Amino acid sequence: MSEQRTELEKLGEFGLIDHLTQNFTTKNKRTILGVGDDAAVLALSKNESQLISTDMLIEGVHFNLMYMPLKHLGYKAVATNVSDICAMNGIAEQITVSIAVSNRFPVEALEELYDGINTACKHYNVDLIGGDTSSSLSGLTLSITVLGRAENDVITYRTGAKQHDLVVVTGDLGAAYVGLQLLEREKEVYNANPNIQPDLDGHDYIIERQLKPEARVDIIKFLKDLGVIPTSMIDISDGLASEVLHLCKSSKVGCQIYDEKVPIDGQTSMTAIEFNLDPNTCAMNGGEDYELLFTISQSDYDKIKGNPHMTVIGHITDKKNGSYYVDKQGAAIELKAQGWSHFD
C-alpha cells in the first residue's frame, strides 16, 4: 500500500465509485452497460435486455432497528431495489438477498425480516432466487441484487434528457424525510422515558413513506399505457436536488426547476413546519422517497397532462445555463446536491 492517505469523504460516495471503477473495461458482448446508471444492462434477446442493480444496507448507517421493524426493513429493502429497475423503465423479476447477522439476532427476528421480504416479493411479483447467510461481528447487513427486464426500445437511461424536455416527478416528495424526523424525535422521547408511548397520531402517511416505501411499478405501466417513453429517468433515493443533478450531469444538460411546482403532501408540510423545517428543503434534499424523476419530450405533454401521479416541475436547458431552481420569489438559485452522503 502506498504511503499516501486520502480520506474517503474527500471523494464522496459517487466520486469514490467513479474513481475505483475508472480502469475497468467491459469485454463480453452481452454487456451493454456496466457501472453508471440505476441498473446495468445485458443483452437478453433481439428485443429485450436484462437489468441488474445491487444495494447494500447497513444497520446504523441505512436503518435503525429501534424504529424500523424487521418486517418493514425486509419489505423496504426489496421495494427500493425494485425501484432501481423502475428507474430504467423495466420490470423487476428476481432478487438475491444476502444477510450478515450477529448472534444478538434470534432465528425469530430473521423470520420477521424474511416475512417482509416475502410480502414484497409477492406484491412486486419478484422471485427470491438466491443469497448468502453469514455471521457478522456487529449488527445486520443486507445485500440485495435485483434482476429485471425491459424491451430495448423503452429502456430509459440517465443520459437522454434534451434541451426543452419537461422534467416530471411522480407522487409527492419529502414525506419519507419528515417521517424520519418524527421517528427520530419519538426515539429520543422514548430513550428519555420508556414509559411515554410514541405520539404518531395523524402522521400515518409520512411514517408509512419512511417505513414502507413502494416502488412505482404502477408508473411503468402508466407510461406504457400512455405511450410515453421518457427521454431520461432516475429514482429519487437521495433527494430531488441530487437526482436532478445526476440526470443533468449524465445527459450533459442544464435545467430549471420551479420550487412551487414540487409536489408536497399536506401532512409533510405541516409536520415539517412543526419541526421548523422548510417543506421545500425537505422535498429537495430529504431523500428516500423512491418516486421517479424523468424527462419527456414536450410533444408528450398532452399525454400526461392532468395525470394525478405525475407533476411537471421544470424543464431542461442547455448545459451552459447550469442547473437552477427558482424559488417562490422568482430568484434562481444554483442546485447543489445535499443528498445523503454515507461517508460524511
Residue 34 vs 322, nearer CB to its own copies:
34
Q: Considering the complex, what minimum distance in angstroms separates the CB of residue 107 from its own copies?
A: 4
Q: What H or E segment, with its residue span, contains residue 15? A: helix 8-21
Q: Considering the complex, what minimum distance in angstroms separates the CB of residue 298 from its own copies?
A: 33
The torsion region of residue 167 among left (phi > 0), alpha (psi -120 to 50) and beta comes to beta
The torsion region of residue 99 among left (phi > 0), alpha (psi -120 to 50) and beta comes to beta
**Nearest CA to 100 among 65, 67, 144?**
144
**In this structure, which amino acid lies at residue 123?**
H
Residue 134 vs 276, nearer CB to its own copies:
134
Q: Considering the complex, what minimum distance in angstroms separates the CB of residue 48 from its own copies?
A: 10
Q: Considering the complex, what minimum distance in angstroms separates the CB of residue 225 from its own copies?
A: 21
Adjacency order of strands within the sheet including 323-326: 232-235, 292-296, 166-170, 310-317, 254-258, 323-326, 332-334
Residue 17 vs 333, nearer CB to its own copies:
17
**Helix spans in the chain (H):** 8-21, 70-86, 107-124, 175-192, 204-211, 217-226, 240-251, 266-274, 279-285, 301-304
Residue 9 vs 274, nearer CB to its own copies:
9
Residue 198 vs 322, nearer CB to its own copies:
198
Rounded Cα gap, residues 275 and 261, in angstroms: 22
Q: Considering the complex, what minimum distance in angstroms separates the CB of residue 188 from its own copies?
A: 20
Which stretches does DSSP call E strand in 108-192? 127-130, 133-135, 140-151, 166-170
Residue 128 vs 264, nearer CB to its own copies:
128
Residue 139 vs 322, nearer CB to its own copies:
139
Q: Considering the complex, what minimum distance in angstroms separates the CB of residue 3 from its own copies?
A: 9
CB neighbour burial string for 128-139, b if at least 16 within 10 angstroms, e if fewer: beebeeeebeeb
Task: Give the DSSP letter string of 92-158.
Answer: EEEEEEEEEE-TTS-HHHHHHHHHHHHHHHHHHT-EEEE--EEE-SSSEEEEEEEEEEEETTT---T
Q: Considering the complex, what minimum distance in angstroms separates the CB of residue 201 from its own copies?
A: 24
Q: Considering the complex, what minimum distance in angstroms separates the CB of residue 88 from its own copies?
A: 12
Residue 52 vs 168, nearer CB to its own copies:
52
Please tell me whether residue 275 adopts helix, strand or coil conformation. Answer: coil
